[in-house]
Every structure is written in structure tokens, then in C-alpha cells.
Structure 1
Amino acid sequence: MRTDSSQRGLSSIGWLLVIIVVVFACMCAAKLTPVYLENYYIVNGLKALAENNEESLKRMSRAEITRKLESYFSINSVRSPGAKELEFIQNSKGIVIVNQYETRVPLIANIDVVMSFHNVLDSSNPDQCCEPPPEAEKP
């Protein structure tokens, strides 16, 4: 019975590489997850605005919409400057609220990760909240 040569495991260099990859993945998750969570709360704020005020959303002023969203963001501790980058587009069917922003997160030394978000709420079609329009997806 030759147990010495048939039972081999990872070498110490192999284990070191596995540990480095796991630590890097955990570090990326720890730095990027809060940004995605803030965007999640921004999307939920827009959805809550659409669900609670479906008909009155068309008649609300920009100041009222901004105040309601800021109240929602304050309750959910959304501190991202991207949450305040709202663009209002008035059309014949109602109002379109566009929240488009980029966030830069430092990863390692001088390496940054840039994430861009594009959330759209159309008062004439609130069911498709927070999906960018088809023309915005074209490069």
C-alpha cells in the first residue's frame, strides 16, 4: 500500500494563492456592497413614490417629489450624493424622474472602481420603475 505518493494535497504555495483570492474577493465585496445597497434604497424610494401616489404623482411639483424622496432617504440612511442627482422631465403623459449618477470607490492604492447607475420613474408607467428606457441602453 503506497499511501505517501497517492495522498497529496495542496502545497503551501497553493494554499497561499487560495487565501489571497478569497481575501481579495471578500475585500471587493466589503467595499462594493454598501454602494449597491444605497442604490437599492434609491430604487425602493422611487418605487414607493410610484406605488403610494400613482395618480397624484402626475400632479406633484418637483419640490414635493424631492421632499418625499429626501424624507425616505433620510429614514433609510441614504447619504450618497447620487441620491440627490434627480432630473425631472415633464412630458404630455406626466413627469419622468431620472436618477443617473456614478460612484467611485477606491479599491487598492490608486485603483478605483467606477459604478454607474441609471434609475428612471415614469409617472405614466410606474410599473416599469427604475429600468432605464431602451434608448438609454444604446452606446
Structure 2
Amino acid sequence: MRMPHKQRGMGLSGWMMMLVLIGFFTLLGLKIGPLYMEWGKVTTSLDGLAQELSTKMETKAKITDLLQRRLDVNSVEHVNLKEHLTLKRVKGGQMEITIAYEARVPLFKNLSAVADFSKTVTVGPGN
């Protein structure tokens, strides 16, 4: 009498499902990863500007120009300072700088990924 043979490992359908999942998450990482890398450049630019302006006060136009130059050097594409930058005077003559924007990247066909980013720093004397 023959004993039933035990199955070892995954079958073809299991391997196919695993490859589909690996492909999906790889696509997701390749599409969304650059958004977060760009956000890192935005925060670095904003923190560098805050450090540069920690002892002096500039006009809103000068702050916008300095920040735009930093973003241009870092090749930031999703931030339009006219739409996404807010400058507000706060206590003690300081300035609150906020960048808030939404980045959308198409994944495939009519499916897109959306990421919201926001950062605020306070600059000026006494900070």
C-alpha cells in the first residue's frame, strides 16, 4: 500500500501570488519614494533658512526669494511658493514660515497616490 506523498513548498499559484505582491509593493515604493525624498529636501531647505535667519529679520519678499533659491538648487518640483507658502508675523517680531502642499503621483491607469506635507518653522531674533 502506498502512503500519500506530503506536499513540500509552494505551488505555482502561490509563487505567482507572491510575485504579484512583490511587484505591487516595488511599484508603490518606486512611485512614492521620490515624494518623500523631495519632502526631505524641502524640510532641509526650510531648516537651513531658519538657521540662517535666526539672528536677523528679513522682509517677506526676501524670505520667499531665499527659500525659492534653496528649493531650486535642490530641484524641488511639487512646491509652488506662491500657493504653498504662508508667512505670518508672531510675537517678538519673529516670522512663522509654513509650507503645506499636496503631492499626487499616478500609480497605474486611474489610480493615484496622494501625500500631504506640512512644516512650520519660526525665524527671527530671539528664536
When normalised by structure 2's length, the TM-score is 0.85
Once the two structures are superposed, what CA deviation does each residue of 1:45-74 show, in whole Å capped at 9, x if it has no partner? 011011222111xx1111111111111111
2:41 alignment partner in structure 1: 41
Matched, 1:77 2:75: yes
1:54 alignment partner in structure 2: 54
2:62 alignment partner in structure 1: 64
Where 1:5 maps in the other structure, the secondary structure is coil
Matched, 1:117 2:80: no
The CA deviation at 1:99 is 0.6
- Asked if the contact 2:96/2:123 (under 8 Å) is kept, the reply is yes
- Asked if the contact 2:53/2:123 (under 8 Å) is kept, the reply is no
Once the two structures are superposed, what CA deviation does each residue of 1:108-138 show, in whole Å capped at 9, x if it has no partner? 2111111101110112686xxxxxxxxxxxx
1:88 alignment partner in structure 2: 87
Aligned residues between the structures: 121
Ranked by relative contact order (alpha carbons within 8 Å, sequence separation 6 or more), the top structure is 2
When normalised by structure 1's length, the TM-score is 0.78
Report 1:15-26 matches (<5 A): 15-26=15-26
Aligned partners of 2:5 and 2:74: how far apart in 1?
58
Aligned partners of 2:62 and 2:50: how far apart in 1?
13
Q: CA RMSD in A?
A: 2.1
Structure 2 residue runs of 5 or longer lacking an equivalent are: none
Report 1:97-108 matches (<5 A): 97-108=97-108
Q: Which has the larger radius of gyration?
A: 2
- Asked if the contact 1:83/1:99 (under 8 Å) is kept, the reply is no
- Asked if the contact 1:38/1:78 (under 8 Å) is kept, the reply is yes
